[in-house]
Amino acid sequence: MIQTVLDDTRPTVLAMIVKVEGSSYRKEGSWMLLQENNVRIGMISGGCLENDLHNRAAQLFNTGKAETVRYDLSAEDDLGWGRGAGCNGIITILMRDIDSDFRRILHIAHVQVLAKEPVYFLQSLTDFSRYGCTALNGSQYGKIQLKLPFNLNTMAPFQEAAKQTTIGEEIVYFQLIWPRPVLYIIGAGADARPLARLSGSAGYEVHLLDWRSGVCNEVHFPTAASIQIGDVAKLISNVKFSPLDSVVLMTHDFQIDVEIGRHLLGQKLLYFGILGSKNRTERIFDGELPSSVHSPAGVSIGADGPEEIAVSIMAELIAVRRGKSL
């Protein structure tokens, strides 16, 4: 979403949820862009608030101003938002016209996430003109310079961290922005296609690696961020993996899986899954399944066929990224 703002300079208003009391469709930290040409990117609710937000955005375009809007959706019989939202929550949304200075802060944040490093976004809710970001190394940018009440280096990968904190007499909203999740799919057989499609739709940056140009190509993987063809062992050795990266090994070639699997075992990854039975994976690692390896890859839902297996793997990827146990 930050990339969209930086690439498209047409008048745009950012809407972000800064507080939720009770339950809601989206949580603190959810962003949505509303553009002057009626384009909407992202969602704040299940569709019940977007029209009202766009009407409010029309009053903010090109003003450099910001405001907060509070929506009470707790009444199940309240038809004020269409059919009665019944979300049982009260949502506070900050709306801000994205001017040149705010774009500058977003650019700094974008540089950090491109380097696969999280960055903290800070916004005063007492004085809307005070906002900025803090990098992993402690460098601070913008009009707000505050000592963070937490250590970025100790945060669990991709865990949500969006909240309000009172510092002195100022209410400050903090949001930890993580880099886009990356998924490497090793093996571009027919069963890799639905996994690449689903993971791309879920926001992953997908990279394909295979030795066969006939199956590993843009025709079968049109949305992949990259397609690498060649000696898979050599290709993998050139990848600089991050602890935020995920890998699914699905070549269906046992000898290749042995070589690649043992190499990946030495990498620090967020998720490492291998397609196939647990017994097969144990053979890859000389009879013992390493604790860091998910095998068989995917949640046990009785999946049958490429599409269902892709769904099960995606469920496990999301659970690991969100820190949920299965």
Q: Name all domains of the chain by residue range, CATH numbers in brackets.
A: 2-98 (no CATH), 101-177 (no CATH), 182-322 (3.40.50.720)
- What's the predicted TM-score (pTM) here? 0.84
Dig out the tokens for 37 from the structure.
């040409």
Rounded to the nearest angstrom, the gap between the alpha carbon of residue 256 and the centroid of all alpha carbons in its chain is 30
Task: Work out the percent of the chain whose per-residue pLDDT is above 90.
Answer: 65
Question: How confident is the model at residue 83, as a pLDDT?
Answer: 45
Rounded CA gap, 45 and 27, in Å?
9
Q: Residue 309 above 80 pLDDT?
A: yes
Give the number of other Cβ atoms within 10 Å of residue 207's Cβ: 21
Mean pLDDT of 88-103: 91
Q: How does residue 87 score in pLDDT terms, banded at 50, 70 and 90? A: low
Question: How confident is the model at residue 138, as a pLDDT?
Answer: 83
Question: How confident is the model at residue 186, as a pLDDT?
Answer: 98
Q: How far is the CA of 269 from the CAs of 192, 195, 282, 293, 298, in angstroms?
A: 20, 19, 19, 10, 16
Question: How confident is the model at residue 39, as a pLDDT?
Answer: 86
Question: How confident is the model at residue 155, as a pLDDT?
Answer: 67
Rounded CA gap, 16 and 31, in Å?
4
| pLDDT tens track for 140-152 | 999 887 776 566 6
